[in-house]
Chains A and B, each alone.
Chain A
């Protein structure tokens, strides 16, 4: 593995069985993550964007081994973590952390901010009482809160401040890698900007690597160095964020970008409106899974599933239009 690669995911699959009311019928499968491969470099932010149900959060949970995978391989820091046992996984969790979307439901309402931030130290038996106390104060300060906030309960904080507590908890054990799952989706725009700036500062300060999951392309554009676009369990386009935003290749990425409402109407480009809804991940369309909604589809798309290919250096697209 290349030195600068921190995380590598190789053709990862996660299929959930769904049981219906017919007891003896074979359960159907939801193809939540269906063959995803990607690499995340040390110190970078990889943005993962897609609409609800595309499997981006499942992918995040799989990487943290919070979810059993169906097949595939995850290599983190040169270790194949998909083969780890429970003890090793617990050790690994010190290096990988997650910040969830909803700061209202991911913080225990009965615990104070101090209790929440100190918990990782207790779980991993680190430090004595005094040392932990010192760490809590340090962490709260790092995320822009005050030491006296430690004795307050989550409901006494605003949404932005709660998300800061979630970030402080994730930072507690000096992780290398943090998954940010829609961390700013429930915040107002002015607060979003504050939290994004904080995340960028922390990344520089502690040399963190982020996997930033979001449905919001604007947020992804602001924070990510490279990005992947997911559709129905697959990555359909992957590359440098600036390149993807300037020159998207996959028809789905193009539609996504054109759907974003623009502030200045004079600069507006023609919108590509997709018809209908995303197909069910149980009955995936044959061939290319986007062909049912694609404006450019040709016969081949109905039968042959396109694979992710490099169309220009470090720019990968899964579309027949861009392949030989």
Chain B
């Protein structure tokens, strides 16, 4: 490890809390490079955002900062200086002593990072005691202080709870309390808010910001969500295919990005203001081992010139503290070629009297709990209605009731005027055909034992629409429509990426010409750029085929890019319904207003003068 030599060298005045130099991570068995040439510095109290799509290596970098490599990987070079100590040159035992005290980690899923069998108070105590010299001293006061810092109750009753008795947001706060407990020099946060609701997310984010500033802790915030990063971090590193492709101040990065990839990534983010179509990034990142010799992004780049494919571009400065790994950065910044989505012309909803789908006084229960209270909605023909709500608001239950998958409901759901039976099994074949459902998770909604062809053909067979050669043709045609090729028919789901799987699910839903399409959080399992592409596709198909679409999501900005009308659902009640533009710009209900203000967005983050500064109300939480 050449890092050993580096550690011996004088590192200059220790201004930065953390300095990462030429970090290299490779696959242990083959030596294939996974992360290369990652360098950055962090000052005390600074939050650096690391963004990238899945597979870009952002988590690997985060873990390498703790001196850890996941099984099968190996840190092959570089240095991670914490003050004057290089964590990579230390022995495993010494590293262990540093973890939790000098460096700490907040994982993505708080539920799995807490021991379900131990009370939270005990787990907090363990963290303190593991790194404390005076064992006998009373840690209770310290624990109470930690709890207050993360805005949790500090009474004994709360500390005696088990992790499963806490909400997701509370669990993540416990995770934060543990990470900040010993006042580390560096904290690595790995998408800690991914599974949380926007409101909870906003609270957790402000807690992170406060604690980092208050205790002068440097933080590395890893996320795929640019909007979240923008609200939190002062500087952002954009990763692509294991390399940092752009590094700079957040506002500068978002307003004048110098790398085409950053541009496209920003273009893929749904905005709260101004309905623009989302533009996905065509193609996908190359996996380690098959990365091109030149710029990794070149195969997907519209600005590619011959030189791009010859040599790997160096990370070069294009402004104060702003570096870009692109030889055409100036051209990118000049901005003419940046493809930002065009404003969408939302077609007017059909003026027919009869709504395509009408839900009246639907009350749904799970066991003894009533989760949906008397909800009424109507979906006009050719209209896209977004149903927005936090998790637990009952939106999926409504969707499943419409599809006939949820048994416990009363009220009426009628399709084109005809009332529907509760269970799909009791509905007419035609009713089943006309309502199609796309599931949230494309990894669960495709039978792994069937080929794509068999999956897409299934509705044709079940509804007796087509068979044999005719069915094959319809399948091929449908696959083309969702921007796949007919050749995909012979593949199995596990050979597809998440976005491709969701396209297959869309093809299956549309192959029998439904009139109503229910999309249940169809993009929440996907990367931002893939999400943009899927939403683009769904929007186009909806307009072309004249579908009525119920688009369920927790992602408020996304609504802008697909729907004409929006219904806001809170705890099983519809609190507001209206045109998208009007509701988002001028919400009539406090709940909607809260939801919008909690939603991280690029505009507000950039508009907020204090990028990285806590907003005025944050201290109250």
Q: Do A and B bind each other?
A: no
